[in-house]
Every structure is written in structure tokens, then in C-alpha cells.
DNA sequence: CAGAACGTTAAATTTTTTCTTAACAAACTA
DNA sequence: TAGTTTGTTAAGAAAAAATTTAACGTTCTG
């Protein structure tokens, strides 16, 4: 009867875990991470370490899928490779500090956004300036160029702000303004 | 020859715009907004206002696509409906303040994340507590339940922080810490 | 009230993405 | 060195998502 209790408890424990794993993987899905990667991370979250074969077994998916998804998880620093001697299999651990995952994921995105748009803006500004500074062009066109110029020039304020946000997260300065621990 | 200048200038102006539109829509794509929605927004960004037929014509896409995508753009507050009398067509304007779009988009996401995970965590915690408080269950299982409990309990610190972040963005308090305008 | 204009919903198609099976390469073991 | 084991790339299949065509409902107009 000890066994009976344990059996039911085990089921309940797995159910509890699965609930959290589902929420985690749905969150990741929300941010554009593939379903498989979300499930892998969620599963690893409750384990100390795993290797590719254990993941494959636990999730019932193919090994290449594990391999590629673990790689993308490493890119966003949600999974780290662990050096372990004695076995040839690579073992991995999940980053359990969500603050770190948040930082890594969003900062990467935001930096890419800033870079991409700033480059486009600089190019466009140059062209537009050439237009509205050229007196051989009709006033209407020059005015249009000027107004577009001012619009995109204005947006730089935003991109510079995003850059600062990234900075303050990377340096952890943001936690001075928004402390991690909430009293209560 | 005035015309010749203008013609070339017009081309250059369109090229400049297209460059920025592309960067904007790629950014939106990065965040999981559909390509069509990105193009629509990018196009509207340089216009005062547009109606569905103008969008369809400008982008060479179907009207239902305009309709549904404009709706999702409204949901993330990147496009607003404009009340205009005299015409039966609905006219829309693009939100040109990227700070507003940032706020609307990320806060919605983050709130959903917090809600989803907090709910799952509360449920799971309840179940796990029942396990590790039940003395008829084996020590190993109870310890495992306890350790999972502590893990997910710890993650609440993160979700509460995200909530605070959302708050500080919604109330614009964040700009006290990270001012919009950068000197220079 | 009939007909047209506009927007939306539904079903179907196309495209894109994700995953798997199969082939390959590298590193270890006997 | 031959044969395993492990991980990755490549090509193909399956699944999911985005877009279009078609049908519908509603509101305006004559």
C-alpha cells in the first residue's frame, strides 16, 4: 500500500511538471521559438542534465531534431553544454535563471532590430538629403523628401533608446531601477 | 529637363522609402508578425492615411489579406481607424511613434507570458505541496516534489519582475530611468 | 425596395516551416 | 585498421501558416 500511494503520487508529480512544461513551451512558442525547442527546454528545466539520446527518448522525437534545436537553444543561451568526462555523449544543462534567458533573447532581437533599421535609415537619409538639397528638382518633390527625412530621422530617438535599454539589461543596471526581489 | 531630374529624383525617393519599409517589415517579421502585415505597416508609415483598396493596390495583394492584417495591426495598436465622413471606406492611419508600438506589442506578450505561467505554477505548486506534505509517501518522492516546488517557486521572482517592467512601461515611469532623448 | 459598394468570413490553395529518414563525417574502441 | 558510436548535414515528407478566391452579410444609394 506504500506502493499504491507512491504510484499515485508519482502520477500527480508528473502531471504537475507537465503543466509547467506546457506553459513554458507555449511561452517560447509565443516568442517564435519552435515547438520542439520549447518542449526540450521545458523538459530539461526539471532535470540536472541530459544528453541527446535521453531527450529523444523522453520526447519521442528524432535525434536530428534534438541536435538542431539544442543548438538554437544554445544560441539564445537557454541551454549550455556541460563538459563531462567518462562519456562520449555531450551533456547539456538548462539555464534555470529566467532573467538570463530574458536578457539573452530580447537583447539579441533588439540589437538586430536596431542594427537593421539604423543601417536602412542612414542609407535612406543620404538619398533623401541629396534630393531636397538639389535645387534643380521641383519644390513638391523636395518637400516630400524633406518630410520623409524628418520622419525617419525622428525614429532614431527610438532606436537609440532601445540600445540604451539593451545596455542597461546587459550591465544589469536596470535592476537598480526595477529590483528583482519584490517585498511582500 | 526639369522633368528628367524629377523623374530620377522620384525613383531615388521611392528607393529610399523602400529601404526603410523593408527594414521595418523585417523587424516585424522577426517578432512574429506576418510578412503582409509588416509590408502594410511599412507602407502606411510614409502615408497620412490609407483605405483597404489603396493598400491592396499599392501592395498588389488581396483585400481579405488587407482586412485581416489591418485588424491584427490594430490589435497591437500599430494602426488606428480614423473616423472620416464623406466616404464609406474605412480609413486607417499608422501609429508613427515606435515607443507606442514597442509598449503595446511587448507588454501584451509579456502579460500573456506572466498570466499563463503563473497559473500553471499555482496549480503545480498545489499538487506538489500535497505530495511532500503527505507522510505516507516515500521520502524520495517527497524530496523530489519539494525540490521541484522550490524551483518553480523561485521563478515567480522573475514573473513578478516582468509584471513590474510592464507596469513601468505602461505608466511611462521607465523613461525616468531611461530617458527617451539622448543628448547629442 | 433593388442594386451596388464595402468589408468580412469560409474554404481552398499555395507557400513556408518544421520534422524525419537517410546518408555522411568524425572520433573513439577493440 | 576495421568497426562502433555519436553528432551533423542534406534531402524529402509532413504539418502549419499565410494568402487567395469565392461566397456572404451588411449598409448605403437611387
| pLDDT tens string A106-165 | 999 999 999 999 999 999 999 999 999 999 999 999 999 999 999 999 999 999 999 999
Mark which residues 80-139 of B lie under 8 Å from A by CB: 96-99, 102, 109, 112-113, 116-117, 119-121, 123-125, 127-128, 130-131, 134, 136-138
10 Å CB burial of residue B24 (0-12, 13-18, 19+) is: buried
Q: What percent of chain B has pLDDT over 90?
A: 91
Partner-chain residue, chosen from A6, A127, A155, that has the shortest CB–CB distance to B16: A127
A48 and A9 together in one domain: yes
- Determine the 3-state secondary structure of B141 from DSSP: helix
Quick count: other Cβ atoms within 10 Å of Cβ A147?
12
Please give the pLDDT value at position B105: 97
Q: Give the C-alpha distances (Å, rounded to integers) separating B9 from A140, B42, B177.
A: 11, 21, 43
Express each pLDDT in B42-68 by its tens digit.
999 999 999 999 999 999 999 999 999
We report the CATH number of the domain holding residue A92 as 1.10.10.10
Give the whole-angstrom CA distance, residue A112 versus residue A43: 29
Tens of pLDDT, residue by residue over A66-76, are 999 999 999 99
Q: Which domain holds residue A59?
A: 2-96
- pLDDT band for B168, please (50, 70, 90 cuts): very high
Establish if B43 belongs to a structural domain: yes
In this prediction, residue A179 carries a pLDDT of 98
Indicate whether A184 pLDDT > 60.
no
Distance (Å) from the alpha carbon of A25 to chain B's nearest alpha carbon: 10
Q: Measured between alpha carbons, how far is B144 from B134 in angstroms, rounded to an integer?
A: 13
Residue B1 has pLDDT above 70, yes or no: no
* Residue B17 is assigned to a structural domain of this protein: yes
Domain count, chain B: 2
- So what's the pLDDT on residue B121? 98
The predicted structure's pLDDT at residue A183: 54
Distance B17 CA to D14 C1' (A): 40
Same domain, A70 and A13: yes
User: In terms of DSSP H, where are the helices of chain A?
Assistant: 2-30, 35-45, 52-59, 63-75, 98-132, 139-170, 174-177
Q: Which of B78, B96, B114 is the last residue of a domain?
A: B96
Measure B18 CA to C8 C1' (Å): 30
* Separation in Å, CA A145 to CA A41, A122, A141, A142: 49, 14, 6, 5
What gap in Å lies between CA A121 and CA A117, rounded to an integer? 6
Task: Please tell me the pTM assigned to this model.
Answer: 0.93
**Which one has a higher pLDDT value, B127 or B85?**
B127
pLDDT score of B83: 85
Candidate from A23, A137, A164 with C-beta closest to B117: A23
Q: At what angle do helices A52-59 and A63-75 cross, to 10 degrees?
A: 110
**CA-to-C1' span, A43 to C18 (A):** 19
pLDDT of residue B163: 98
Of A50, A78, A96, which one is at a domain's C-terminal end? A96
Q: Least CA distance to B16: which residue of chain A? A: A124
Q: Which nucleotides of C are covered by protein (CB under 7 A)?
A: 5-10, 17-22, 27-29
Is residue A48 domain-resident? yes
Q: What is the mean pLDDT of residues B11-36?
A: 96
Among residues A63, A96, A129, the one where a domain terminates is: A96
Strand D–CB B37 distance below 7 A = yes
Convert the pLDDT of each residue in A20-65 to its tens digit: 999 999 999 999 999 999 999 999 999 999 999 999 999 999 999 9
B184 within a domain of the structure (yes/no): no
Amino acid at each position: 500500500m506504500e506502493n499504491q500511494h507512491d504510484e499515485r503520487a508519482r502520477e500527480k508529480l508528473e502531471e504537475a511538471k507537465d503543466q509547467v512544461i506546457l506553459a513554458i513551451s507555449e511561452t517560447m512558442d509565443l516568442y517564435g521559438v519552435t515547438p520542439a525547442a520549447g518542449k526540450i527546454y521545458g523538459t530539461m528545466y526539471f532535470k540536472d542534465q541530459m544528453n541527446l539520446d535521453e531527450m529523444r527518448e523522453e520526447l519521442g522525437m528524432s535525434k536530428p531534431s534534438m541536435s538542431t534545436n539544442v543548438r538554437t537553444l544554445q544560441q539564445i543561451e537557454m541551454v549550455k553544454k556541460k563538459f563531462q568526462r567518462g562519456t562520449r555523449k555531450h551533456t547539456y544543462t538548462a539555464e534555470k535563471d529566467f532573467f538570463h534567458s530574458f536578457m539573452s533573447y530580447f537583447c539579441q532581437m533588439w540589437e538586430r532590430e536596431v542594427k537593421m533599421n539604423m543601417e536602412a535609415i542612414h542609407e535612406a537619409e543620404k538619398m533623401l538629403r541629396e534630393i531636397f538639397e538639389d535645387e534643380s528638382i521641383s519644390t513638391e518633390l523636395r518637400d516630400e523628401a524633406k518630410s520623409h527625412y524628418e520622419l525617419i530621422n525622428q525614429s532614431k530617438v527610438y532606436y537609440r533608446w532601445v540600445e540604451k535599454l539593451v545596455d542597461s539589461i546587459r550591465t544589469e543596471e536596470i535592476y537598480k531601477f526595477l529590483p528583482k526581489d519584490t517585498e511582500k
